[in-house]
Structure 1
Amino acid sequence: MPGPGTPRAGPAGARRASGWNTWLWPAIAVVMALAIVGLLVFRSASGMRVRLLVASVAG
């Protein structure tokens, strides 16, 4: 059973729910991307090289 915040199918429902959709879905995407990247970095043997690359890009 969908909750009160669940958007209905169709553009009208999606537009009505855009108040929380605009920040909720990007936040979920960022968290999932960080989790996947973290798993790949920690599981790979070249994790240190990846970490250095990320540090150089972020810094």
Structure 2
Amino acid sequence: MSVLELTEKERIVLVDALESYLSDLKTERSKTDNREWRADLREQEAILNGLLGHLIAKAA
């Protein structure tokens, strides 16, 4: 397991970037007709949502 230490400012910027990217990713996933690519995007979305959850939990 790797550990990444972030300052509070870095954490906030990363949360904002992930939220923005996830929004775009959902739009992209909904527009694709390629099932394999859609599955890859869904997997990527799940991973990023997990990371986002960890970052948000660290703030609490």
TM-score range, shorter chain: 0.3 to 0.5
State the structure with more CA Rg.
Answer: 1
Q: Which one has more relative contact order, counting CA pairs under 8 Å at least 6 apart?
A: 2
TM-score by length of 2: 0.46
TM-score by length of 1: 0.46
| Higher helix content, 1 or 2 | 2
